[in-house]
Amino acid sequence: MTPATAWSGADGPDLAAAVRRVLGPDAELREAQRDALDGLRDRDTLLVARSGAGKTAVYAIATLLSGRLTVVVSPLLALQRDQVAGLREAGLRAESVSSARGARAQQAALDRAASGDLDVLVLGPEQLVRRPVAEALDRAPVGLVVVDEAHCVSEWGHDFRPDYVHVAGTVERLGRPRVLALTATASPQVRDEVVERLGMVDARVLVHDADRPNIWLGAHHASTPRERDDRVVALVHELVVDPGGAGLVYARTRTHVEELVEALGRAGLPATAYHAGLPARERADVERAFLSGALDLVVATSAFGMGVDRADVRFVVHAGPPTSLDAYYQEVGRAGRDGEPARAVLVSRPDDFGLNQYLRSGGVPKRATLSAVLDAVAGAEDGARDQRALAQGSGLAARTVSGALGVLLDTGAVRREDGGGLVATGVSAQAAARTASERQEERRTVERSRVEVVRTYADTTDCRRRLLLELLGEKHPRPCGACDSCEAGTSVEVADAPLRPGQAVEHAEWGPGQVSVVEEDRVTVFFAERGYVTLDTEVALEAGLLRPAGGAPGEPATPAA
């Protein structure tokens, strides 16, 4: 029975009963939730909806409607724990499989999943290629595969979490159950990457209002590291007093985190550090203390926040810019989840953006590594289904195999067959390495442009919220009234601009693009091979460099559908 058949009663009493069970007796579905459930009846679905929109309830309700197992792929242990707890609270039978659980507990969860005695199984992407997990899922009645925090598929890529490459293969092997991808923030380009990398078929992409109007946005500039950090400490001091409550300070490196903790301490503002260099138990203690309210100020790298859902975070301060505006809005969105006023402030200096260029750059596996994995795929007797066997056959670590496999799939040296098996196509490791290097350079160009867009956000004197939301693919033509630019009176109306966000355009040299942001005299356009480019609107149109797709230079714009 397909998921669509299983959900055929989704408009009737079955849906009402599922909503009552998950959300409570008097609750009603929000627009984003109903939209996603409607989409899942017929198609794979990507739902982009702001924090607090109730995305977890979507797959909880879908699970009850299908009567089959839902597999949730979730990136962090803290998030997995919260998801299991929330699902159990709603009355669903939920378990997780992770390195944080003993072998016996993991096997018990897998046995329950395989026997149909479980509603939801939560696991990290790296678990998908473990033989015990794969065998249990092969026996289980899987109706839905959920990828939570789906922006990670794009943001982190093969360099950070290469195991996401196995989601598509798992879905194929399981007979193509429905796929639901969820995230709070994703630009149009990130949405395309998520759909492609997860192998979603005829996906319905649903984008609901990402605006968090209760969060005031601001930015400050500094000339030196000392000036930047002094400004951060002063801001935190102001914000601790007014509006008070809990706060987060984000820094780009572990060293900077520790330096800021010391600086805040000297100013009488006790803070706790959180980064990947700390022992796992210490990180877990910080998360629990922050969630419980025992700890109100944390200085962290981007490793902190996903799955740490505290309603009364009143401020988020960035000591240096994030690597993309998608990442920035994810982190900003941890403030004000109770709907009360909150503040988000970015403090940066020019050289910080150079560091981000470095942080976003990634390498291509060595040719010898690609060759070893390619030989292991070609020599696998079971269609290269088991990554552990590929690791043994290649003599490489499982993580290295995942990274190389992602490149081999991307370059066509390896193909995924129906049923999820991997086969070598005859493309050599040398040719794959050459193609990967060329594509990596293209990606670096795009990644560099994403960093520059963060600089545009930091430097703008126009409405900061409008620029941010338009880069995330939303139309927001009028000043918001809740950012530093609006308060200073420098925001402008762009309702009658000759170009519109989302509009398809053609550049004389760079080809097709899509308008991302419209300012008073500038336009930012995304080009597939160059990334984000900011142009003088009047010059670009009058000189014929830019024109609406299908129209003459300077022709009035028609917003894209």
Q: What is the pLDDT of residues 422-444, one digit of tens each?
A: 888 989 988 988 888 887 777 77
Q: pLDDT (tens digit, 9 = 90+) per residue, 70-117?
A: 999 998 887 888 889 989 998 899 999 998 888 999 999 999 999 999
Which residues share a beta bridge with 258? none
Give the separation between CA 2 and CA 141, rounded to whole angstroms: 10
40: number of Cβ within 10 Å: 26
Environment class of 550 (CB within 10 Å of its CB; exposed 0-12, middle 13-18, buried 19+) = exposed
Instruction: Please give the pLDDT value at position 382.
Output: 59
Distance from C-alpha of 394 to C-alpha of 365, rounded to nearest angstrom: 14
Per the DSSP assignment, residues forming a β-bridge with 48 are 183, 207
> pLDDT-based confidence at 419, cuts 50/70/90?
low
Spatial separation of the C-alpha atoms in residues 78 and 415, rounded to whole Å? 34
Quick check: helix, strand or coil at residue 316? strand
Instruction: Calculate the average pLDDT of the chain.
Output: 84
pTM: 0.77
- For 355, phi then psi, to 5°, come to -60, -40
Q: What percent of the chain has pLDDT above 70?
A: 90
DSSP classification of residue 94: E
Q: How far apart are CA 150 and CA 164, in angstroms?
A: 10
Distance CA(300)–CA(253), nearest Å, equals 9
Q: What share of the chain is helix, strand, coil (3-state, %, to 5)?
A: 45, 20, 35
Residue with tokens 């072998």: 103
- Rg, the chain, Cα only: 24
Q: How many residues does the chain have?
A: 561
pLDDT digits (tens, 9 = 90+) for 118-167: 999 999 988 887 889 988 999 999 999 999 988 888 754 444 456 787 88
CB 443 within 8 A of CB 181: no
Which range among 326-340, 352-366, 435-449 shows the weakest confidence by mean pLDDT? 352-366
Work out the average pLDDT over 293-309: 86
Domains in the chain, CATH or no CATH each = 3-207 (3.40.50.300), 215-333 (3.40.50.300), 367-438 (1.10.10), 460-548 (2.40.10)
Number of alpha helices (DSSP H) and beta strands (DSSP E) in the chain:
23, 20
User: Does the structure show a pLDDT above 50 at 8?
Assistant: no
